[in-house]
Structure 1
Amino acid sequence: MKPNIIHSIVICLTAFALLFMVACSSQEESLPDNVTEAVLYLNIATIGQTRASTAELPDNEKMNSVRVVVLHAADGTVEHNRHFSLEGAQAQKTILLKVTPNEKKKIFLFANEESVSTVEGVTVEGENQTLTAFFNSYTEGMPGFEAVVNNLYFAPDYSGGKPIPMSSMYEIDFPEKGNFDGTFYVVRVATKFMVNFMNWRGEEVIVDNFTIASHADKNFLMAHVNDSEQNEQLFNGKTWIDWLKEVSDASSENDDYAVTEAAGWLKDYELPAQADKAITYTHGTVTVGKPTVDIDNLDNSKPGVAKNIPVFYLPESKSPKAGATDGEQEYTLTIKITGRDEPFVCKLPNLKALFRNTHVVVDITMYNSNEIIVDVIPYSEVILEPEFGL
């Protein structure tokens, strides 16, 4: 992807869906002795990284716990509300549940609920307002879970390596005879940013700070993807989760922006009305080393890089682009460098939405002319290409 030069800054931004796959874990509930009983076989997995990578997925992006809530679709009452503490962080988990056959069911999946210290949109009598307290208030046979859980929102806290909350909902038709098995994905309630600095100047560069504006401060627990004609055309008969995974898989093979743009962007979704959508993220000092130059063979030369690559997480957000009629968004990057009076400011190219589970990669290249090139590769989250994204 060719870099975009804006106000003498070139920014390369890549977004990917955070899809990750690993080996299956052990089953939670043994098969019934009576073969006439119905068994729901759940292979629960995180959506993986959009580009092929040998790097190990960090533990905070895996599942440390899983909760499964199964509803009878006819009346919305709870059939199962089960919480599973996992033995270490896992990207995939297999669970078996005995269920009533021959009916439609709604399956709500959650991971890392313990990371949500305070949930809003509901009152749990006599309990702290934790997500776990809310879940525990719904026992088997109780109605009303779906409506209430869809209204829950919270202020995400990604600090200290806390496991990222995840959620999803599936509808299935359970057969009259036999069992049901399938793979079900949970989607991270977060967007991931990775910022790469490449220095071709003849000296070390100190970035005093850089900022990204404007992001939200609160997210719904469940994704609020609108049932609109725009989304119907984008998904082309798929659910939004299946679309997201497909885009992520494709971008892992080819992260060229044209591929992302062709896949489209998920732009028609909602944030809580209570969310402040104009928050600015600020990252502190970054030291970027000097380049290594081979005069005899310039192809062997390498740019200086940051000693610690900035990696951070922001909430799902919506920052509307002025004049856009289709929900397109834009985000502003500001870079302050030691020795330069004026900061570099530009709109991040190739980033048209910041839906949950998006992985944004920003490549910043600095030259002796004081020119800065910022290149953004989207989803390639869904991702700046849609991790849902570009």
Structure 2
Amino acid sequence: MNGSAQLFKGIINNRFPVIILGTQSGDEDLELPLFGLSTILKATKSFSINNKLGEGGFGAVYKGVLENGKEIAVKRLAKTSTQGLHEFKNEVISISRLQHRNLVKLLGCCIEGAEVMLIYEYMPNKGLDSFIFDETPMELVDWPTRYNIIIGIARGLLYLHQDSRLRIIHRDLKLSNILLDKDMIPKISDFGTARAFGGTQTEAKTNRVVGTYGYMAPEYAGNGIFSIKSDVYSFGVLVLEIVSGVKNRGFAQQEHCNNLTGHTWVLHNEDRSLELVARCVAESINVSQVLRSMHVALLCVQRHPEDRPTMASVIVMLESEGQLPSPKEPGFYVGKATQHMTRSSSSHELCSNNDLSITILNGR
């Protein structure tokens, strides 16, 4: 490591202009440790394919081991990436000063030659999606573990929305962006599309809608309006996926054309919610916790943002035993299907495990 340096002085060859990384108020500059390229090459064995952990919109992620034995994860900007300086700057500003046990920790960055990289703490259990959606490992995640993961994600979001120096709206909360450490503690990651609010601001509108189909709130997907309540909607989808082991997007059911949230709404109204629980956790469930988790999730995915609870209320409801308010109809609920619309798939059809992150210019 080359010590601490002010990133706004960094110049990246001829790929990008001078990087200016300051807080939104402009009254202080962010400082972050800079790793030398030689250090990263040695740690990752020159980005060996055997060290590759995965790949996202920013680029590939590699495992590395520093000379002192510390394990790291290196996110390397790809030459063909649809993201770039904006997302790099955004992620550093959003997460560099956040400290919470349920947020992934940014250790530093590497800006040298044509290379742009972010260095994180290494998460040995990788993404939550690999446990929930893959049939083999999902059996290792019993209900108590899933419940603790739900609570951990909720606490991380509460910190972002209420307790951090700036109010952070994640905007791309999904299972693959929840990493797990060696003790299966969840860490929210990937802040490249996050937005920071100062003062009392809680809502904004954008013409550049970014996120992942299946997790985006109706007002954000349709009109580009995002707020803490759009993150709450995504959290509700996460909870239903963790409970059921199936994806919201790509879900199909013979009786109607709804996604997972719509199907959960139907089962809830018919007092059949337990039918949705993943079979592999059936023997370990706490019925009261499962039903409460699904009920709270339905409150989070209600169509109108003003009807959704805050994350502070979500945590109280999840951890208490009091009576819960009745949820209203969820977003994207379409009701019963007509015969020609009914799919001939099984009740729990799964789509590809590869979520599609999108950027929509001129949000409608």
Give the TM-score taking structure 1 as reference length. Answer: 0.24
User: In terms of Rg, which structure is larger?
Assistant: 1
Of Structure 1 and Structure 2, the greater helix share is in: 2
Of Structure 1 and Structure 2, the greater strand share is in: 1
Give the TM-score taking structure 2 as reference length. Answer: 0.25
Larger relative contact order, structure 1 or 2 (CA cutoff 8 Å, min sep 6) = 1
